[in-house]
Amino acid sequence: MRPKTLTAIIGGTGLTQYPGLEIEREELIDTPLGAPSAPLIFASLHGQPVVFIARHGHPHKFPPNKINYRANMLALQQVGVTHIIAVNAVGGITPAMGAEAICIPDQIIDYTFAREDTYFDGVFKPLDHVDFSYPYDAHLSAALFKAANEIDELVQMGGVYGATQGPRLETAAEILRLERDGCTVVGMTGMPEAVLARELGIPYACLTLVVNRAAGKSESVITMDDIYKALEGGVKKVQRIISAFLSQADVS
């Protein structure tokens, strides 16, 4: 029997595993659109059932432009997921978005291309259109923000996620363009994940973790060593927020 509420956690760079889970089983789900990036991990956290998936695979092997997002999201729907919390490592564009800053965005701008970005392609499902005016679920985002406040974890509520193609990092000129467009952070995996969740009717919210200042926003060169240092500290903050969220009496 499926639980009434089942939260999925999608882990990005730096979160291919999730310490602290009471793991029940791992299962590689077959979907009509192929295999997801990794087996789904069925577990509990603070007494709440959760499903964890490593977006890039475990070990980290799929670049952002090669992830089978449609299979990942479809697999979550097939096992009865009712809420999705996506964790995304991003670059910070605005002054407040320094290393280890966390933002819960409320908007997204899609700069990606040539990705399989819909189920309504006239092949898998008949052509249809979804309202994507507000891409993130407001109730779920607010609940995450409330959980962060309860543990005194500083989080920026609201912001614009600029989704770029990757896997290369952006040029300074590209970041200036994103800044003019109003982007707060920049990442490579925010789309088409968000719209696929909308097409499936699953509430979806995002915790973005800043792992570096975006290109041209600091005088230093962006290095993977610096990114991994920010990931090490920042991921712990993200995990604390998710734990606080799940420990609430009602996550529905």
Spell out the domains of the chain, with CATH numbers in brackets: 7-246 (3.40.50.1580)
Q: Please, are residues 207 and 104 in contact by the beta-carbon 8 Å criterion? A: yes
**Of 206, 202, 108, the residue nearest 156 (C-alpha):** 206
C-alpha 250/C-alpha 105 separation (Å) is: 22
Place of tokens 């490579």: 188
C-alpha 206/C-alpha 141 separation (Å) is: 7
**Of 92, 47, 74, 41, the residue nearest 215 (C-alpha):** 92
C-alpha 252/C-alpha 250 separation (Å) is: 6
Instruction: For 44-60, write each residue's pLDDT tens digit.
Output: 888 889 999 999 998 77
Beta pairing, strands 160-163 & 107-110: parallel
C-alpha 8/C-alpha 54 separation (Å) is: 11
**Of 152, 147, 186, 148, the residue nearest 169 (C-alpha):** 186
Query: Average pLDDT over the chain, rounded to whole?
Result: 92
C-alpha 72/C-alpha 36 separation (Å) is: 5
Q: Please, are residues 15 and 86 in contact by the beta-carbon 8 Å criterion? A: no
pLDDT (0 to 100) of residue 14: 53
Q: Between these two residues, 231 and 250, which has the higher pLDDT value?
A: 231
Residues 20-24: what's their mean pLDDT?
81
% residues pLDDT > 70 (the chain) = 94
* 242 phi-psi bin (left φ>0, alpha ψ -120 to 50, beta other): alpha
pLDDT band, very low/low/confident/very high, at 231 (cuts 50, 70, 90): confident
pLDDT surpasses 90 at 20: no
The DSSP code for 52 is E
Instruction: For 105-154, write each residue's pLDDT tens digit.
Output: 999 999 999 999 999 999 999 999 999 999 999 999 999 999 999 999 99
193-244-142 Cα angle (round to 5): 55
